[in-house]
Structure 1
Amino acid sequence: MQITEEMSMNITEELNGNIENIALKLRGFIRDQVTSFKKKGIVIGVSGGIDSAVALTLCVQELGKENVYGLLLPEEESAPSSKTLGAEICESLGVSYEEVPISPILRSLNIYDKKEQIIKRVCPEYDIRIHKTSLVLPDFLNTGSLNVPYIRLVKSNETVGKYRLKATDYLELIGLQGVKQRSRMLVQYMYAETLNYAVCGTTNKTEVVLGQFVKYGDGGVDLEPLADCYKTQVYALGKYLDINKEIMKRPPSADTWSHYTTDEEFYWRMPIQIMDQMLYAQEHQLPLQVIEKSTGLSRETIEKAQKHISRIRNNTEYIRAAPPVCYINR
């Protein structure tokens, strides 16, 4: 692609250009997919975050509020604001919605008890009555390539301890946490099939590229209107669609830990503005000098970040891939 002077100075501006046309394309995509599936409308999980807010708004604009059904799917560790903001945007759009807590499903599988046992083993001082927890990774830009996850203990909004995780404990925690997204998708399909609706996903391109979704959880949907929009573009769409300012300024999060953990603290390990510029530059094979000017990062940091991102993409390829099929009749 040809590199313009404007783009060489600011990749973010290039990302966020032509947002009105992007919104129109997304609306047309939603209409086309619902029609091709021969469905009457859309079911969507509404989390109080920017992705679901933008997807919900586009669905309502294209299909009408009467053909969109919102589901609030909280659990014990969800932030209270998730339910509040989710209900507010449904009501502001005139969308029918229902709250279906998934905690009973998780308790039936002992998810909370198993998680607590791991945390107590890793953090001897942990007391569920006074502590909240989150799973975080070191900031990549400040600590380099160190990639050791740790549990953060929080008391009265103050960090009181950090404990490194063994690989076995980390994998077990990820497996337990994934049940939350898979439980939410189970509920969404129950409602969608009852209504003869399609399930609309809310995964954006940044998450797709990095494998930042749960296979057969938030990745198990009928259509993904935002999957070719970087997170930065989703925020630009939110501004264009006049999304609630409280949602716009809320830090992105999977919202599966008792202490609200942002995606920057765990998945991205750098500000989203930097991550999206790096991903866009990688996608369009932009030269280093363009990335340097746009991000303000040194060449050495950019090269390390590129390797870091490539490693993530390679390690999560199986999440994006369709299940392999053994063809025996060819």
Structure 2
Amino acid sequence: MAKKSTIQTEKVNTHIVEWLKNYANNAKVNGFVIGISGGVDSAVTSTLCAQTGFKVLCVEMPIHQAESHVTRAKEHIEQLKQRFPNVSSIETDLTAAFGAFKDTMPVTTDEPKMHLSLANTRARLRMTSLYYLAGIHGLLVAGTGNKVEDFGVGFYTKYGDGGVDLSPIADLMKSDVYALGAFLEVPESILTAAPTDGLFGDHRTDEEQLGASYDELEWAMLASESGNTASDYKEREKTVFEIYKRLNTNNKHKMEPIPVCLIPKTLK
């Protein structure tokens, strides 16, 4: 079920960097701001942005963050600053802001829903911080979502990490991101770490949350796009396909444009 990337990494790298340059030039901005999580998606995105020559601001935004995430993020940022003089960084610890928000909210007995809402709040606080910095420095917020997350299972927070100005890697499968990351010499600690969104302050992985690995979900996404159904498969493949279809259906509200109630001309 695992898929090996077939992208031409060097040419894809050049294509995305040129696309970023053109977009920044047309938007008349100074560069890009990116939230660095310690994961492969933000590492690849920031490295692509760094190659443009435009200003790149890497931002760490810990909120009760696991130490391993912080360590990987710092390792990547330091490496990137050594390689590219246009890269700078800042850390803005949002733990106190998150705590203040949490303390003002009504108490609920539905703990699972409360924890999920608070996890999404972390992502939205980070988005707000990135746009604050973008406004000050004349930058664009670069998204870090890949194709499986953004258009397959909708594994992101609406108006959180989904709130961006442009998405450089959103047409790349997760396997493609790893291939590009290896080409870009992203730290090995990041390339070998289990993917995690880090929104719960613990070590739970994306696979534990989703019920399937990215290799499996990538397979299911391609199978679904080919017109296949769950009845075409048995055992684990059937389970993964059903997981993908459920997540894809439940998260359509993230992946499709905001619905607008159109008023008939006769009523205007």
The change in CA–CA distance for 1:17 and 1:111 in structure 2 (over 3 A counts) is farther
Identity percentage over the alignment?
29
Q: Is the CA contact (8 Å cut-off) linking 1:184 and 1:217 kept in structure 2?
A: yes
Q: 1:113: Cα distance to partner? A: 9.2
Q: 1:329: Cα distance to partner? A: 7.5
CA-to-aligned-CA distance 1:203-245 (integer Å, 9 cap, x gap): 1111111010000000000001111111111111111111100
The change in CA–CA distance for 1:305 and 1:82 in structure 2 (over 3 A counts) is closer
Alignment match, 2:84: none
Q: Which runs of 5+ in 1 are unaligned?
A: 1-9, 122-167, 292-297
Alignment match, 1:109: 101
Q: Which runs of 5+ in 2 are unaligned?
A: 82-86
Q: 1:17: Cα distance to partner? A: 3.2
The change in CA–CA distance for 1:111 and 1:185 in structure 2 (over 3 A counts) is farther
Query: Is 1:87 matched up with 2:29?
Result: no
SS at match of 2:46: helix
Alignment match, 2:35: 45
Distance 2:14 2:227 in 1: 27
Match for 2:153: what amino acid?
L
1:145-184 matched pairs, under 5 angstroms: 168-184=110-126
- Out of 65, 73, 78, the residue aligned to residue 61 of structure 2 is 73
Distance 1:110 1:12 in 2: 41
Q: Is the CA contact (8 Å cut-off) linking 1:251 and 1:262 kept in structure 2?
A: yes
Match for 2:42: what amino acid?
S
The change in CA–CA distance for 1:112 and 1:243 in structure 2 (over 3 A counts) is farther
CA-to-aligned-CA distance 1:175-205 (integer Å, 9 cap, x gap): 1111000000111000001011100010111
The change in CA–CA distance for 1:213 and 1:20 in structure 2 (over 3 A counts) is same
Q: 1:303: Cα distance to partner? A: 3.1
SS at match of 2:145: coil
Query: Is 1:311 matched up with 2:246?
Result: yes
Distance 1:71 1:60 in 2: 14
Alignment match, 1:12: 3
Q: Is the CA contact (8 Å cut-off) linking 1:111 and 1:176 kept in structure 2?
A: no
244-253 or 255-264, larger mean C-alpha shift = 255-264
Distance 1:257 1:285 in 2: 35
SS at match of 1:110: helix
Question: Structure 1 runs of 4+ off > 4 angstroms?
Answer: 111-114, 285-288
Q: 1:72: Cα distance to partner? A: 0.5
Q: Is the CA contact (8 Å cut-off) linking 1:106 and 1:112 kept in structure 2?
A: no
Q: Is the CA contact (8 Å cut-off) linking 2:44 and 2:181 kept in structure 1?
A: yes
Match for 1:279: what amino acid?
M
Q: 1:25: Cα distance to partner? A: 2.1
SS at match of 1:62: coil
Distance 2:104 2:184 in 1: 38
Query: Is 1:273 matched up with 2:207?
Result: no
Q: 1:48: Cα distance to partner? A: 1.1
Q: Is the CA contact (8 Å cut-off) linking 1:23 and 1:58 kept in structure 2?
A: yes
Match for 1:230: what amino acid?
M
Equivalences, count: 258
Distance 1:261 1:184 in 2: 20
Alignment match, 1:96: 88
Alignment match, 2:173: 230
Distance 1:31 1:283 in 2: 32
SS at match of 1:63: coil
Q: Is the CA contact (8 Å cut-off) linking 1:201 and 1:224 kept in structure 2?
A: yes
Distance 2:260 2:214 in 1: 36
Match for 1:276: what amino acid?
E
Distance 1:219 1:226 in 2: 13
The change in CA–CA distance for 1:11 and 1:82 in structure 2 (over 3 A counts) is closer
Distance 2:104 2:240 in 1: 35
What is the root-mean-square deviation of aligned Cα atoms in Å? Answer: 2.5
SS at match of 1:71: strand
Q: 1:263: Cα distance to partner? A: 0.3
Q: Is the CA contact (8 Å cut-off) linking 2:196 and 2:206 kept in structure 1?
A: yes
Larger Rg: 1
Alignment match, 1:239: 182
TM-score by length of 2: 0.87
